[in-house]
């Protein structure tokens, strides 16, 4: 004769079934992502990118455990020399990079060095550009590379060099009021509040000029002083202009690059945490990484930059290993 199962037996069976079900629904352990390889291409003789880019790299190494390569302009003795226009060491690191960060101005690189930058840009991998990357190169008219002077930065980053609103007591007073576009929602804007920048405002949009491609402005600036205003040219060069945007670039590979660009980048801009957050958010977005409120934008090493300016205003007698963040030998 069949007997009813006891209460305790039923309880045991139910508990076992629930245990099996919970094991099935238990999430798989996530495989940790490989830290990104980020290559900074440095070479501007005005805005102390040789100081600001290592500062930014230090934060990224701390926050992402990123593999960093800093490619500096070096003289024949291996010293960092922003005035050396025809040599940036270590660019082969771009061949295996996950992100290129470009902060150069009017460089005239030899073909073997230039090839690493151009090949990277055509690969479909992400790119970030700062300030003078709108005029990253300046080849003579007789060169086969003159298209890099204006056409290339406009296609890749969204605009070429046009003009700015004027220096005015460089480094003594802020010259641009920066405000995020509050009408859009974008991860790059997370945690970015209005601030005042020491960068004088670049003109990139308005009058006879428009941002190119699918550029989407996210942050705007207003010139606090303007030579164009004094000369009555605001119809051509208005006081308000985009200072940061996203776009895409489709290279020869057919792959589409994520691109973030900002025309800010004066050495004193980086002392403001909002500037650092904007740049870091842009880098995370370009790498297709989540932008979180917990991102720590504090310096990883002291940041005490020289003011902007030409000539011998940079810190002299330094080699790559002397910089606050030591990441490779830059060779």
Q: Is 235 part of any domain?
A: no
pLDDT at 154 over 60: yes
Which pLDDT does position 301 carry in this prediction? Answer: 95
Distance of CA 46 to the CA centre of its chain: 18
pLDDT at 49 over 50: yes
**Residue in this structure with the two tokens 């297709």, named with its chain if needed:** 288
Which pLDDT does position 1 carry in this prediction? Answer: 39
pLDDT at 177 over 80: yes
A 10 A CB-CB count for 325 gives 19
Which pLDDT does position 251 carry in this prediction? Answer: 83
112-144 pLDDT, tens digit per residue, is: 999 999 999 999 999 999 999 999 999 999 999
pLDDT at 81 over 90: yes
pTM of the model: 0.89
Q: Is 214 part of any domain?
A: no
pLDDT at 4 over 60: no
CA 161/CA 63 separation, integer angstroms: 33
Q: Which residues contact residue 53 at a Cβ distance below 8 angstroms, ignoring those fewer than 6 apart?
A: 40, 42, 70, 101, 103
Q: Is 157 part of any domain?
A: yes
What average pLDDT does this structure show over 251-255? Answer: 86
What is the count of structural domains for the chain? 1
Q: Is 233 part of any domain?
A: no
pLDDT at 167 over 90: yes
Q: How confident is the model at residue 111 (pLDDT cuts 50, 70, 90)?
A: very high
212-239 pLDDT, tens digit per residue, is: 999 999 999 999 999 999 999 999 999 9
Q: Is 17 part of any domain?
A: no
Q: Is 90 part of any domain?
A: yes
Q: Is 32 part of any domain?
A: no
Which pLDDT does position 6 carry in this prediction? Answer: 45
Which pLDDT does position 162 carry in this prediction? Answer: 98
pLDDT at 53 over 70: yes
What average pLDDT does this structure show over 150-168? Answer: 98
CA 206/CA 165 separation, integer angstroms: 13
Q: Report whether 270 contacts 55 (CB < 8 A).
A: yes
Q: Is 166 part of any domain?
A: no
67: domain range?
Answer: 37-161+243-322
């Amino acid at each position: 004769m069949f007997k009813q199962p006891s209460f305790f037996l039923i309880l045991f069976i139910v508990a076992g079934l629930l245990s099996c079900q919970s094991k099935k629904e238990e999430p798989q352990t996530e495989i940790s992502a490989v830290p990104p390889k980020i290559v900074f291409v440095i070479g501007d003789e005005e805005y102390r990118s040789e100081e600001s880019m290592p500062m930014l790299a230090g934060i990224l190494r701390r926050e992402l455990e990123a593999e960093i390569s800093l490619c500096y302009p070096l003289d024949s003795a291996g010293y960092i020399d922003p005035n050396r226009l025809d040599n940036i060491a270590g660019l082969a690191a771009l061949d295996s990079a996950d992100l290129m960060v470009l902060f150069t101005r009017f460089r005239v690189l030899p073909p073997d060095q230039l090839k690493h930058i151009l090949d990277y840009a055509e690969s479909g991998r992400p790119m970030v550009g700062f300030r003078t990357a709108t005029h990253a190169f300046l080849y003579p008219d007789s060169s086969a590379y003159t298209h890099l002077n204006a056409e290339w930065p406009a296609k890749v980053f969204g605009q070429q060099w046009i003009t700015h609103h004027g220096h005015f007591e460089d480094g003594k007073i802020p010259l641009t009021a920066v405000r995020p576009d509050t009408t859009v929602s974008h991860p790059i804007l997370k945690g970015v509040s209005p601030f005042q920048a020491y960068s004088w405002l670049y003109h990139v949009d308005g009058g006879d000029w428009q941002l190119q491609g699918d550029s989407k402005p996210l942050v705007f600036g207003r010139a606090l002083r303007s030579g164009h205003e004094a000369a009555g040219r605001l119809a051509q060069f208005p006081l308000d202009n985009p200072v940061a945007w996203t776009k895409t670039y489709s290279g020869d590979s057919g792959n589409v690059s994520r691109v973030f660009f900002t025309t800010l980048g004066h050495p004193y801009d980086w002392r403001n945490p909002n500037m650092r957050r904007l740049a870091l958010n842009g880098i995370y977005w370009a790498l297709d990484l989540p932008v979180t409120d917990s991102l720590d934008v504090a310096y990883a090493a002291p940041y005490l930059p020289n003011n902007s300016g030409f000539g011998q205003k940079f810190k002299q007698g330094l080699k790559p290993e002397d910089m606050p963040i030591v990441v490779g030998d830059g060779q």
